[in-house]
Amino acid sequence: MEKYILSFDQGTTSSRAILFNQQGNPVSIAQKEFTQLFPQPGWVEHDAMEIWSSQITVAAEAIVKAGLGGKEIAAIGITNQRETTIVWDKTTGEPVYNAIVWQDRRTTGYCDQLKAEGLDTLIQEKTGLIIDAYFSATKIKWILDNVPGAREKALAGQLAFGTVDSWLIWKLTGGQSHLTDVTNASRTMLYNIHQLTWDKQLLEIFDIPENMLPEVKASSEIMAKTTGQFLNAKIPIAGIAGDQQAALFGQMCTKVGMVKNTYGTGCFMLMNIGDQPIVSKNNLVTTIAWKINDQVHYALEGSIFIGGAVVQWLRDGLGLIKDSSEIESLAEKVSDNGGVYMVPAFAGLGAPHWNQHARGTVVGLTRGTTDAHLARAALESIAYQTWDILKAMEADSGVEIKELRVDGGATANDLLMQFQADILQCKVVRPELTELTAIGAAYLAGLAVGFWNSVDEIQEYWKVNRYFNPENQNTGELIKNWHRAVKSAIAWADDGI
């Protein structure tokens, strides 16, 4: 009987399930968007029960589409939107509040307070992270402080915290397993990435009881088995990685200095830095890339909060396009941006600026500006933000980056990929398979159950679709104007001006 790996790819705007065969090819895909909740400006929430129902629905759909049953699934790999915070009652399995999404800004004031108390260095040294509302710790504290009865229940050991991977495992195992992996733990601002433990000093600072936290596992090991209610089979859950680390592994960036950028709702660039963490001096974060066979790899990461989401905004917010795929043809109606620059700081600016208060800005508008110029400026903003991170990464690592491996939905846009190569002045490599986040989780799960024998075997399945080489060398003026636009976004946020 031929077996397959089932990958749960739980993203920010949709849940997906993909079945992979022995050659690392997808044989069946199902996807379902779910509700985005914006209760107040700067707040972003999801219904955790809808995350679960959408994910389990697409998993069943993908298997039925392929004409398979539970016995043909060798293992489940899980990859997930990171930092998004869910707190639930251990007895009822019900969330005490909506999931607070990684994009949410409600704890910005508290983060400012932590910085004012001079905790930046301590937190960065222990966790590799920069104090920001992006990460999970301040979101957990907010739930405990603001949901009636939550803190009392937590102190009594009745509540569980988890990132989305933990929540899915809890549900898949009928509440028997409260687990996460090192990659997701390293995004909470509570995990010591040197000692590989939850950090008691940080738990004290954030006033979070340790009994809420999941047990931390490697990224590739048999962690738990499903209850048997799902597909009438007890399937091993054997791979977990946060979406960006999963993409780094899926891109086979297994050697030091290799870099990938994922173009999703946000954009996330990671560089494999090997088995020793480097603390960034250029406002990047240090994160755990994966742990396989007791071997930990680390990565430098730069996070762009709004990448592909800027195209969704043009579609849903402005109505300039009906479908995201139309953005390329609209942008191609003009030969350049017409002097228009868009800084999509809808959720603040991420790396390397880390300005929580910055807001979206468009500069350079004239009477001659058209919807095509706005479309082009939106696409270009993704490439400029990537340039900022790449330069910070080169400065931290001392490595000149000659090749960028790319994945995610926006990589189908040839205009954006060519512009990216021009702006970076380096080769952009788009692989044949664009489902890199899902395949990364599948590889981790498959390695743990012997579906694949080694990383070397997997390496053979990674194939190039297209190289984008720099064609335009004269990009200095564009980058200079981009930085002027970023200054405008930051200035707008400064109410002291």
CA dist., res. 189 & res. 366, Å (int): 44
Question: 265 among the known binding-site residues?
Answer: yes
Do the annotations mark residue 13 as ligand-binding? yes
Question: What Rg value do the Cα atoms of the chain yield, rounded?
Answer: 22
Distance separating alpha carbons of residues 251 and 290, to the nearest angstrom: 13
- Per the listing, tokens 């963490």 go with 277
Rounded distance, CA 212 to CA 43, Å? 24
Strands, E, within 226-360: which ranges? 236-242, 259-263, 267-274, 285-292, 295-304, 341-343
**Any known ligand binding at 272?**
no
Question: Is the backbone peptide bond immediately before 352 cis, with ω within 30 degrees of 0?
Answer: yes
146 known member of a binding site:
no
Asked if 493 and 358 touch (Cβ cutoff 8 Å), the reply is: yes
3-class SS of residue 13: coil
Is 207 annotated as belonging to a binding site? no
Rounded Cα gap, residues 448 and 213, in angstroms: 24
Q: Would you state the structure tokens that stand for residue 157, as one six-digit string? A: 């050991």
Token pair for 261 = 């950028």
Pairing of strands 427-431, 464-468: antiparallel
**In terms of Cα–Cα distance, which of 145, 152, 157 is closest to 210?**
157
308 among annotated binding-site residues: yes
Pair 149, 180: CB distance under 8 Å: no
Residue 312 among known ligand-binding residues: yes
Cα separation of the two ends of the chain: 69
Residue 413 known to bind ligand = yes
Q: Provide CB contacts within 8 A for 489, sequence distance 6+.
A: 343, 345, 349, 355, 358, 359, 360, 361
Helices (H), 207-345: 243-250, 309-316, 327-331
Q: Are the beta carbons of 134 and 301 closer than 8 angstroms?
A: no
Q: Is 364 helix (H, G, I), strand (E, B) or coil?
A: coil
134 is in an annotated binding site: yes
How many residues would you count in the chain?
Answer: 497
Is 93 within any annotated ligand binding site? no
Is 466 annotated to bind a ligand? Reply is no
Residue 409 counted as an annotated binding residue: yes
Is residue 115 within 8 A of residue 128, CB to CB? The reply is no
Phi, psi of 285 (to 5 degrees): -110, 155
Distances (CA, A) of 229 to 1, 6, 438: 22, 16, 23
Summarize the annotated binding site for sn-glycerol 3-phosphate as residue ranges.
12, 82-83, 134, 243
Summarize the annotated binding site for ADP as residue ranges.
12, 16, 265, 308, 409, 413
Summarize the annotated binding site for ATP as residue ranges.
12-14, 265, 308, 312, 409
Summarize the annotated binding site for glycerol as residue ranges.
82-83, 134, 243-244
Summarize the annotated binding site as residue ranges.
12-14, 16, 82-83, 134, 243-244, 265, 308, 312, 409, 413
